[in-house]
Amino acid sequence: MGKINHTTNRVLIFTLVWILAILSPIPLNAQFSSNSSTQNKITFKGQLSAYTHYNPNNQYQWWNGARYIPQLNYQVPGKSKVLLDFEACANIYGNLGMDGFKYFNAEGQIKPYRAWARISANQFELRAGLQKINFGSASMLRPLMWFDQVDPRDPLQLTDGVWGVLGRYYFLNNANIWIWMLYSNDNPKGWESVTTHSSSPEFGGRVQYPAGKGEVAFSYHHRIADGRSLPQNNIWEPQNYPDKIAENRIGIDAKFDWVVGWWAEASWTNMREDTGLLTNQHLLNLGADYTFAIGNGLTVTYEQLIASFDRKPFQFKEPITFSAINAMYPSGLLDRFSIITYFDWTNKSPYFFINWQRQFNKLTLNLMGYSNPKEYRIPSQNRAQNLFAGTGIQLMLIYNH
């Protein structure tokens, strides 16, 4: 018999969640919106977005696209305040790049976005399937961006999920424990530059504990990296890395509210084989935010990131240093302005982004402008084709139903 690949497995799980949500026994008196806590409840909603984007630095200067994310949720209340619920979302999008009206580049895809089932109670939840897992104190340059790639400048806050199981328990003193196991995630996640070996599960956990006017947390993750995906420094004399390389990741973060909100977040990733500069990855973020009593309130966030990739642990031989500032001002009930700037101290390169957002009933309008270096170097945000290198403008409409 032939083997079923990971993509097929994902499609089967995604389809199963939709079938369970649709075909599970629903009482005749169940409604799409019900106030009764004893009734099954099924809801459907979605987000439709469209954009037009112009950047003279791109090969295709004018891009247009649309995206639809339908979301189906189904809840089955149980006894003793136990709830069983399902969520299934798809990411349906298409983009068209144009160079004048002569050359075109079209792309599109339909793929699972979220597909999970969860059982939860007052202090506990267990969720399995394709899901978003993120944590940490930082908001822009995040060392603990282990399983997502959310860009703070993205109005949609899009990120691919991971396939796995996540359990969380919440204590009465606001402490909490997370435990997870991931499997069959082909692409690099977060800060990863090497894929995970396809036959090996990943696992880890997090402990978060209140401390005075804030909280501290410790996180750990273990996986088996695929040595075959390591970059070769010399294609004429390729290095023979092992197929399986153990990798351990440790994270520490703390957040407090003393006069201003401030936080510290750090991550160390170590491979158990010599892989050159990828053997050890060090990330450290220090940040603070404060809302000034100016007009409707000006909120300013500042973060400083130091990143280093070294053969030996804690060597910091050639560190990369980034600063980030986010200023947000609501000019009224409907309008909000935000400015995000990054500065790459290593390459002396500034990045600038401004967004005006107007909120209607179900419609949101975003007008964005940016000026960035032509060689885009913001850490962990340069994997996909980058339309935001150089200077450009983008108009985006978002409709939620």
| H or E stretch at 130 | strand 124-131
For the chain (401 residues), the mean pLDDT of every run of 10, in chain order, is 48 51 40 54 96 93 96 89 94 93 88 96 96 96 95 93 97 96 92 91 97 96 92 63 94 95 97 92 97 96 96 91 97 94 94 96 96 81 67 97 95
Strand ranges inside 100-243, DSSP E: 103-120, 124-131, 162-170, 176-182, 202-211, 214-226
177-190: b or e for each residue (b if 16 or more CB lie within 10 Å)? Answer: ebebebbbbeebbb
Q: What global pTM score does this model have?
A: 0.86
**Would you say how long the chain is, in residues?**
401
Q: What's the CA angle centered on 165, arms 161 and 170, to 5 degrees?
A: 105
Residue 16 CB contacts under 8 Å (≥ 6 apart), including other chains = none
Structure tokens at 302: 């500042």
Cβ neighbours of residue 353 closer than 8 Å, sequence gap 6 or more: 153, 339, 340, 341, 368, 369, 370, 372
The two three-digit tokens of residue 259, written as one number: 């006069």
Instruction: Report the relative pairing of strands 391-400 and 320-330 from DSSP bridges.
Output: unpaired
Q: Which residues contact 311 (CB under 8 A, 6 or more apart)?
A: 274, 276, 277, 279, 280
pLDDT of residue 230: 86
Neighbours of 270 (CB within 10 A): 14
Q: What's the pLDDT score for residue 375?
A: 83
In angstroms, the CA 78 to CA 61 distance is 54
Dist CA 400 CA 45 (whole Å): 8
pLDDT of residue 162: 97
| 20: DSSP letter | H
Residue 63 in contact with residue 52, Cβ under 8 Å? yes
Radius of gyration of the chain, Cα coordinates, nearest whole angstrom:
23
pLDDT at 23: 45
Q: Which domains does the chain have, with CATH numbers?
A: 1-112 (no CATH), 123-400 (2.40.160.100)
Tokens of 209: 């504990």
Per-residue exposure over 70-106, b if at least 16 CB sit within 10 Å of its own CB, e if not: bebebbbeeeeeebbbbbbbbbbbebebbeeeeeeee
Whole-angstrom CA distances from 41 to 19, 71, 129 are 15, 14, 20
The pLDDT score that the predictor gives to residue 381 is 57
Q: Which of 157, 181, 166 is nearest to 131 (CA)?
A: 166
